[in-house]
Structure 1
Amino acid sequence: MLAFSDGVIAVAMTLLVLDVRLPAMSGSVDESQLADALVGILPKLGMYALSFVVVGSIWLAHHQKFSYIERVDRRLMQLNLLFLMSVGLVPIVTSLVSEYSNKVATMAYAASMMTTLLLLAATGWYAARHADLIAKTAPRDIGRELILVPLLSAAVFAASIGVAAVDSTAGRLMWVLTFPVTLLAVLKLPRMTDA
């Protein structure tokens, strides 16, 4: 299941960059035109970078979780599939908010990321509630740790939905908070085993 999950996440991360393209320019292009074109794609590059880092963090958290899961059952596989479906939508909402930076696009992106993170937390919660799935070597409080990281990041995206309803730019700026929140939470996690 981990290899399949890695594949889906890798494809989603690869698809993110396809939205970043220089505009078509014909004839001789001078430095000022090229500079303008590069400035024009900065919002798309920013969204690519944000989504790549967030999905990369999600992938790391997913690996962390499965380093402590010895076996899976049908319900855990179903939750993981829902999580992967949500990850698959990230390139679409990234493209949406890169192209249209209005309230609806901003809220759709935040809702998608929040859903992905909540589903990641749900898989951790489910595994932690079923001790027979967890390795004996896992720390006793691993359930709390595996649920905390995605929930904190999901809270940032949830709050940004409310802010974006009033001001889409302020809503998008809130997403920067996912970096320190994720870093702080990841630093608090137990050391990852060789997975």
Structure 2
Amino acid sequence: MDTFPIPIHRLARLSDLIFAVAMTLMALTFDSFPTAKMTPQEVTQFLQTQIPDLGVYALTFIIIASYWTTHLNQFKYYKSTDTIHLWLTLFSLLFVVLMPYANALSNYYDSVFAVQVFYSLTAASIGLFSSVTWIYATQERRLVAPDLDAQTIRQIRQESYVEPSISLLAIAGALIHPWGWFATFLLIPVIQFMQSQNQQTTKSIG
């Protein structure tokens, strides 16, 4: 039982701030520009060396952005929070904060299997806690509107499984080939786009 009131808007504000900070911190992991004056050819070579880092940065940004959209969709329906819901959300945010570190490791130790596993588990943990949070909040309509329909609850729960499932599947991709790890993660925006199209089709039919 809660011993103090927990305003849901305070938790939503903190969550948005942490997502924003995580997205921003990743830009700090790039190599600094050389202090010496470079020729155009050296500048081109320097930019070419940054391409793998830019790829991982874009991947991490997409993953965090995907989780943020899922987070926004869930918070649309929360009417209140409690201690358990609060801590489940905070554990999910803990791993959001870890993503810039996982991103930096991937930049410095490119294609190292242990680093890719760490990155995948960190990304998956965000979604696992997010899914558990939604399940807890909607069980017997605990923290959502009593009349929230079961189809919406089920749909959001299924959507929350996408990112963590792909993140874990990426470990198998890394076993096949280092680039298989990267390619597997690209399934996240593809599946989310397909889900969005399916939802629009369902609404138009309905």
TM-score, normalised to structure 1, is: 0.89
Deviations 1:41-64 (A, max 9, x none): 111111111111111111111111
> Partner residue of 2:158?
148
| Alpha-carbon distance change, 71 to 151 in structure 1, aligned in 2, over 3 angstroms | same
Q: CA deviation at 1:166?
A: 4.1
Higher alpha-carbon Rg: 2
* 2:95 alignment partner AA: S
Q: CA deviation at 1:125?
A: 1.2
Identical residues among aligned pairs (%): 22
Asked if the contact 1:22–1:37 (Cα under 8 Å) also holds between the matched residues in 2, the reply is no
Q: CA deviation at 1:103?
A: 0.7
Q: In the alignment, does 2:193 pair up with 1:183?
A: yes
> Partner residue of 1:62?
71
Which sections of structure 2, spanning at least 5 residues, go unmatched? Answer: 1-10, 201-206
Q: CA deviation at 1:92?
A: 0.4
Instruction: Provide the C-alpha distance between the structure 2 equivalents of 1:96 and 1:32, rounded to a whole number of angstroms.
Output: 28
* 2:133 counterpart (114, 123, 128): 123
Deviations 1:23-72 (A, max 9, x none): 41513x22111111111111111111111111111111111101101011
Instruction: Provide the C-alpha distance between the structure 2 equivalents of 1:187 and 1:175, rounded to a whole number of angstroms.
Output: 20
* 1:79 counterpart (88, 94, 108): 88
* 1:104 counterpart (97, 111, 114): 114
| Alpha-carbon distance change, 186 to 83 in structure 1, aligned in 2, over 3 angstroms | farther
SS of the equivalent of 2:13 reads helix
* 2:163 alignment partner AA: S
Instruction: Provide the C-alpha distance between the structure 1 equivalents of 2:149 and 2:47, rounded to a whole number of angstroms.
Output: 48
Q: CA deviation at 1:135?
A: 2.1
Q: CA deviation at 1:144?
A: 1.5
> Partner residue of 1:95?
104
| Alpha-carbon distance change, 186 to 123 in structure 1, aligned in 2, over 3 angstroms | farther
* 1:9 alignment partner AA: F
Aligned length: 189
Instruction: Provide the C-alpha distance between the structure 2 equivalents of 1:130 and 1:36, rounded to a whole number of angstroms.
Output: 59
The 5-angstrom pairing of residues 42-61 of structure 1 reads 42-61=51-70
Q: CA deviation at 1:138?
A: 3.5
Q: CA deviation at 1:163?
A: 2.7
SS of the equivalent of 1:41 reads helix
Asked if the contact 1:145–1:189 (Cα under 8 Å) also holds between the matched residues in 2, the reply is no
Which sections of structure 1, spanning at least 5 residues, go unmatched? Answer: 191-195
Instruction: Provide the C-alpha distance between the structure 2 equivalents of 1:45 and 1:150, rounded to a whole number of angstroms.
Output: 27
Instruction: Provide the C-alpha distance between the structure 2 equivalents of 1:129 and 1:188, rounded to a whole number of angstroms.
Output: 26
| Alpha-carbon distance change, 189 to 20 in structure 1, aligned in 2, over 3 angstroms | farther
TM-score, normalised to structure 2, is: 0.84
